[in-house]
Amino acid sequence: MKTERYGVAINPFPRPGELTVLFAGSNQTPPLHRVGPHVLDYHLVHLVVSGKGSYTCRGERRELKAGDCFFIFPGELSGYLSDEAEPWSYRWIGFRGKEADVLLGELGITPDAPVADVSGMHRLQALFGRTQTTLSTGRAGCDLRAGAYLRQIFAEIADRAAAPHPAGTGESPADAELNRRIGLAVRWLVLQYHRPVSIGELAKETGYHRAYLSRMFKKATGWSPAQYLLKLRMERAVQLLREPLTVSQIAASVGFADPFHFSKQFKKWHGYSPTELRGIQMGMEHFQPRA
């Protein structure tokens, strides 16, 4: 008969946010060790390290084994029971956050599908263990480090998932992959507009031929990649006109090496030169409507 070994470490500095680790622990359970049924007000994830047991949620009992991860959601009545012949050993992490359900949903984990098969992912056990160890130090950075480990755990599960796409959208895997890559292209332009970029570079980042990328990008956004990039730059330039920056500095901040070319493009886009529009903005700020 295996002897119970239990340990837990509490986060001494939990910060509110999108994902916060509350505690982490481990347990070699005795035979028929039962937890619940109960309702929690935080999320809880268990990694089964060895042995067997069962998990019941929403009236459905699931038989679990080493290599399974099961999630408990706040507000859900759930319980779990260790096997009599092969009592399980598991590690767990308690967490909460305003984005927790969203992140889990993107992994395909919901109260109706609370189990992920992570067999063969030996790195996960180390990450669970590191989370508990770092919390037990009580150091100032343990909250941030534990949060990083939890995100790595989610990342490992995401990598294991097969080409996920939002449930209920009716998308085929091919359409979901196309939308993912177009979304990547949009985010890439949003983050890289401040420097010289080319459509060839964007195509390389997304893995598409530039002609196909341009066609699909325009179909999804209504703009060609070049037009979308110029739109981002011109919109940002208007915002920067409110700052104490020269036209040359604004041009450089939105990816133009030549201030004259920037001013020409700006006037073509907005109908005013940067200097003219800055004067209009200043006039509007000083305008006081009559009572």
Architecture of domain 173-286: Orthogonal Bundle (1.10)
pLDDT of residue 3: 62
User: Treating both helix axes as pointing N-terminal to C-terminal, what angle do 225-240 and 199-206 enclose, rounded to 10 degrees?
Assistant: 110
Residues paired with residue 44 on neighbouring β-strands, in sequence order: 72, 94
Cα separation values, 95 from 12, 24, 41, 63, 124, Å? 13, 9, 10, 24, 16
Whether the Cβ atoms of residue 165 and residue 33 lie closer than 8 Å to each other: no
pLDDT of residue 4: 66
How many Å from the N-terminal Cα to the C-terminal Cα in the chain? 85
Between CA 44 and CA 108, with CA 36 as vertex, the angle to 5 degrees is: 35
90: helix, coil or strand?
strand
Give the residue among 69, 75, 95, 92 at the shortest CA–CA distance from 11: 95
**pLDDT by residue, tens only, the chain of 291 residues:** 556 678 889 899 888 888 899 999 999 999 999 998 889 889 999 999 999 999 999 889 999 999 899 999 999 999 999 999 999 999 999 999 888 888 888 888 999 999 988 877 778 889 999 999 999 998 989 999 999 999 999 988 888 765 444 444 566 677 788 888 888 889 989 988 998 888 888 888 888 888 888 888 898 899 999 999 999 999 999 999 989 999 999 999 999 999 999 999 999 999 999 999 988 887 765 434 433
Alpha helices by DSSP H, listed for 193-273, are: 199-206, 210-221, 225-240, 247-253, 259-270
Tokens linked to 241:
């006109």
Distance CA 229, CA 251 (A): 14
pTM value? 0.65
The HSE-up count of residue 158 (CA atoms within 13 Å, CB side) is 12
pLDDT of residue 184: 87
From the number of C-beta atoms within 10 Å of its C-beta (0-12, 13-18, 19+), residue 11 rates as buried
Distance CA 108, CA 113 (A): 7
Distance CA 274, CA 55 (A): 64
Class of 5-160 in CATH: mainly beta
Cα separation values, 136 from 5, 7, 21, 166, 258, Å? 17, 10, 13, 37, 55
Cα separation values, 28 from 62, 91, 200, Å? 20, 9, 55
Residues of the chain with CATH 1.10.10.60: 173-286
Tokens linked to 63:
């038989």
Residues of the chain with CATH 2.60.120.280: 5-160
Residue 212, C-beta contacts closer than 8 angstroms, at least 6 positions apart: none
Give the residue among 125, 109, 113 at the shortest CA–CA distance from 158: 109
Give the residue among 8, 111, 23, 9 at the shortest CA–CA distance from 59: 111
Residue 224, H or E segment: none
